[in-house]
Amino acid sequence: MIVKSLDPRIERAALDDESKIGELNVHEHFETYEVFQQVKRGTHHQHVGNVHAPNAEMAMLFAKEQYCRRGAAVNLWVVATSNVFVTEYVDADIFETTEDKLYRDPNSYKVMDRINAFKARTSKV
């Protein structure tokens, strides 16, 4: 049956409510691009999400529409998801900053103790 609609545009389209369309195949909605946005000059670009697009130029267009509709942005990057190399969460232990790496911590250097001890020692002489 032809769809009766309140929307004049849909009325004009005279849609058949039993119409069928072929199934979409994987990839018909394209690959994904990851989107990085810089909100202000001088700040880091930050990952904000992704878009489906057939190429980088269109990914940029969609990213602008999707992630920069309102609020500040000064720059965008897009990169095909398949080109991003990622670590696995199961390997997260590689990031553990263990307590025994104190030599990377500026607070672990107590020079004043040594200087004061030195001064105390030499002033007595």
Partner 1 sequence: MYGNAYIENDGNKVNSILADEDPIKLAEFEARIAAGDKIEPKDWMPKEYRKQLVRMIEQHAHSEIIGSLPEGTWITRAPGFRRKLALMAKVQDEVGHAQLLYSAAETLGKSREDMTNDLINGKSKYSNVFNYPAPTWADSAVIAWLIDAGAIVNQLANSKGSYGPYCRALDRICAEESFHLKYGHDNVVFLATGTPVQRAMVQEALNRWWEPIMHFFGPPDKASQHSEILMRWKVKMGSNDSMRQTFLNMYVPKIWDLGLTLPDPNLRKNEETGQWEYTEPNWETFKQVINGNGPCNKERLAVRRMAEENGRWVRKALMNKDAVYATPLA
**Minimum CB distance to partner 1, residue 75 (Å):** 19
Binding flag, residue 9, partner 1 (CB under 8 A): yes
Binding flag, residue 34, partner 1 (CB under 8 A): yes
Q: Tokens 């202000």 correspond to what residue? A: 40
Return the residue of 74, 84, 102, 115 that touches partner 1, per CB under 8 A.
84
Q: Which residues contact residue 60 at a Cβ distance below 8 angstroms, ignoring those fewer than 6 apart? A: 76, 78
x-or-dash string of contact with partner 1, 40-69, rule CB under 8 A: -------xxxxxx-xx--x------xx--x
* CA pair distance 63, 40, nearest whole angstrom: 17
Cβ-defined contacts of 84-93 (< 8 Å, 24+): 84/34
x-or-dash string of contact with partner 1, 93-122, rule CB under 8 A: ------------------------------
Helix (H) and strand (E) counts in the chain: 3, 3
Helix, strand, coil tally for the chain in percent (to 5): 40, 20, 40
**Residues in touch with partner 1 (CB under 8 A):** 3-10, 13, 15-17, 19-21, 23-32, 34, 47-52, 54-55, 58, 65-66, 69-70, 80-82, 84, 86, 88-90
